[in-house]
Amino acid sequence: MKRVLVFGVFDNLHEGHRSFLRQAKALGDFLVVAVAQDEAVQNIKKRAPRATLSERIASVRAEHIADEVISGDPAIGSWQVVDAQKPDIIALGYDQADLRRALETAQRNRPWRIAFVTLVPYEPEKYKSSIVNG
């Protein structure tokens, strides 16, 4: 069974997110979605999420695309989710280049054998969270 893992904030879930999740699901047999904790969102986006972590998890679950939806790591760069989930593939959004670099660096020092796949954006001029959420 091929496990796929994705990371995201998923604040105000939109068509870009849905496309991202569907593309990731198509890469394997089991899709795990790690939803960023509030502190991580603050650190990454320099603002608090609009919805709570539990609301964002519930909205991803409501899409019925992911096989499992979990909260992300409590500390950025701890990679506890990756260690616990043992994915074969980590699918990344077109705008997650920093995350990809961090994962590739971490992989050098860990026993991971993970393929990293960058997914195709879906109408990024229209469906990007910074645009949708203002």
Q: Tell me, what amino acid is at 103? A: L
Strand pairing partners for 34?
Answer: 7, 70
Average pLDDT, the chain: 92
The pLDDT assigned to 131 comes to 45
Q: Which amino acid is at 23?
A: Q
pLDDT in tens, 80-121: 999 999 999 999 999 999 999 999 999 999 999 999 999 999
pLDDT of the residue at 132: 46
25-46: b or e for each residue (b if 16 or more CB lie within 10 Å)? bebbebbbbbbbbbebbeeeee
Q: What are phi and psi of 111, to 5 degrees?
A: -80, 15
Which tokens is 113 given? 């054998």
What are the backbone dihedrals phi and psi of residue 118, each rounded to the nearest 5 degrees, phi first? -95, 125
Is residue 124 scored above 90 in pLDDT? no
pLDDT in tens, 42-62: 988 889 999 999 999 999 999
For the stretch 61-81, pLDDT in tens is 999 999 999 999 988 999 999
pLDDT at 126: 65
Instruction: Give this prediction's pTM.
Output: 0.91
The pLDDT, as a whole number, for residue 109 is: 93
User: How high is the pLDDT of residue 49?
Assistant: 93
Q: Rounded distance, CA 60 to CA 35, Å? A: 9
pLDDT tens readout for residues 4-42: 999 999 999 999 999 999 999 999 999 999 999 999 999
What is the end-to-end Cα distance of the chain in Å, rounded? 39
Q: What is the CATH architecture assignment of 3-120?
A: 3-Layer(aba) Sandwich (3.40)
Sorted by sequence, the CB contacts under 8 Å of residue 106 that are 6+ apart come out as 77, 79, 82, 112
